Amino acid sequence: MKKLTSIFPIIVLAFFGTIAIAKSQQTPPPVNSYTQSVNREVLASGYPSEAEGRILELVRYTIPAGANLPVHIHPGMQIERVEFGTLTYTVVKGSAKIVRADRTEETLQAGQTTLLKVGDSLAEPGGMVHYGKNETASPVILLSASLFEANKPKAILSKENR
């Protein structure tokens, strides 16, 4: 009997622990579709002495099929090149410079949308309001170089509307 009373608390903890684990597996936590769906892989980074307080990064973004990025800005300049897929890209405020795979250049102004395809590149000045969508059934892969303020988030959500 003494042995049973010393084991009883362990049995109770194991039982309720099993229920808690099963319950947590049934109800996944809410997902932030932006931060959870886009994979941001830093390939290289550094803090250039010539740009004090800034971080220089080379990043590979993988945007899954069907992903909608929120309206946002960056705390500095970012340049990107589409390596795979097609991204629907919209400027909300400001402008972005695009160099197409065939080397033709264009400027995308506020309110304009375009398709960025393999080989296209894009220059986004800091503070330019924009968003993207992957409206295809394949992922989009972007290579990106950025010079951002080191103490700020890489993407800052904007209150501007789509």
pLDDT at 36: 54
Q: Which portions of the chain are predicted below pLDDT 70? A: 1-36
pLDDT at 24: 40
SS3 assignment, position 22: helix
pLDDT at 37: 84
Residue 119's region, left for phi above 0, alpha for psi from -120 to 50, else beta, is left
53 near 37, Cβ under 8 Å? no
pLDDT at 32: 40
pLDDT at 51: 94
78 near 125, Cβ under 8 Å? no
- Domain extent listing, the chain: 33-157
Long-range CB contact pairs, 19-27, < 8 A, 24+:
none
pLDDT at 3: 57
Please tell me the class of the 33-157 domain. mainly beta
Q: What tens digit of pLDDT does each residue of 23-40 get?
A: 444 444 344 444 458 999
